[in-house]
Amino acid sequence: MKSKYHQLKKRCFEANLQLPQLDLVIQTFGNVSVVDRENSCFAIKPSGVPYPELKAEDIVIVDFNNQVIDGDMNPSSDTKTHAYLYTKWNTIGSIVHTHSAYAVAWSQAQMGIPILGTTHADHLVQDIPCVPPMRDELIKGDYEHNTGIQIVEWFSENALDPLEVEMVLVGSHGPFIWGKDADSAVYNANVLEELAKMAYLTLQISPQAERLKASLIAKHFQRKHGSNAYYGQK
């Protein structure tokens, strides 16, 4: 008999499979989750399973208290971070975590990714933020839960809106990315890696390259996201 979460698992499964296809992960790295707001739960990749072996029925369903409510496998070790973000940010529908190389490099350098061009501005109008590494007492505690807290607090303290900035680097670790649904979140994960690579190359060519000027930031963002947006089909 099919699980009542069959469709949710399938969406989550297909989103996870995109990560290796887009060269955002190797081996067992990374994970995608998809939320079901009505049932207050989310689907997430099981921990440590290589993508070629992953099956839709392996996807684990977890509630917002991190309890497995459907599925035979252990959920991703990053599950508590996903749960915390879903709890605090009720506008997001899916979360992606990768260890894609350029995004990780900026995380390991503990630097946000500066907005250097219109490719960046088409997606967000700020630098991609980098949350500093956690304080030691939090690391020793409930680490993945506290990673969620750190991200949410950083957004709050810096007046960032998760609807406008759909990605973050966790210092010394790597990126978390989200979106209104699984396709958007995976799209954003792909865009982040590309922006991280472009910023890397730009600063290698010209270390003193300057941030995109305000008028161009505003223009590119508005054509995709403003009230008179004319990018896309709606």
Q: Does 27 bind a second copy (CB under 8 A)?
A: yes
51 is catalytic: no
**Residue nearer to a second copy on the CB measure, 38 or 136:** 136
**CA-wise closest residue to 34 among 179, 165, 146:** 179
Q: Among this protein's residues, is 122 annotated catalytic?
A: yes
Segment interacting with a second copy, rule: CB under 8 A, options 3-11, 129-137, 151-159, 160-168: 129-137
47 lines the binding site for a second copy (CB under 8 A): yes
The nearest distance, CB 159 to a second copy, in angstroms, is 25
x/- track of binding to a second copy for residues 191-210 (CB under 8 A): x--x--xxxxxxxxxx--x-
Instruction: Report in angstroms how near the CB of residue 169 gets to a second copy at its nearest.
Output: 11
| 190 forms part of the interface with a second copy (CB under 8 A) | yes
Q: Report in angstroms how near the CB of residue 53 gets to a second copy at its nearest.
A: 11
Q: Is 184 in the site for a second copy (CB under 8 A)?
A: no
CB of residue 113 to a second copy, shortest distance in Å: 10
Closer CB to a second copy, 156 or 203, in the complex:
203
Question: Among candidates 60, 87, 96, 85, which has minimal Cα distance to 184?
Answer: 96
Q: Transcribe the chain into DSSP letters.
A: ---TTHHHHHHHHHHHHHHHHTTS--TT--EEEEEETTTTEEEEPBTT--GGG--GGGPEEEETTS-EEE-SS-B-TTHHHHHHHHHH-TT--EEEE---HHHHHHHHTT--B---SHHHHTT-SSPBPEEPPPPHHHHHSSHHHHHHHHHHHHHHHTT--TTT--EEEETTS-EEEEESSHHHHHHHHHHHHHHHHHHHHHHHH-TTPPPPPHHHHHHHHHHHHSTT--SS--
Stretch in the footprint of a second copy (CB under 8 A) among 9-17, 85-93, 160-168, 219-227: 219-227
- In the region spanning residues 89 to 128, those forming contacts with a second copy, defined by CB under 8 A, are 99, 101-102, 104-111, 116-119
- Residue ranges that bind a second copy, judged by CB under 8 A: 22, 26-27, 29, 46-49, 73-74, 77, 99, 101-102, 104-111, 116-119, 133-134, 136, 139-140, 143, 172-174, 187, 190-191, 194, 197-206, 209, 212-213, 215-216, 219, 223-224, 230-233
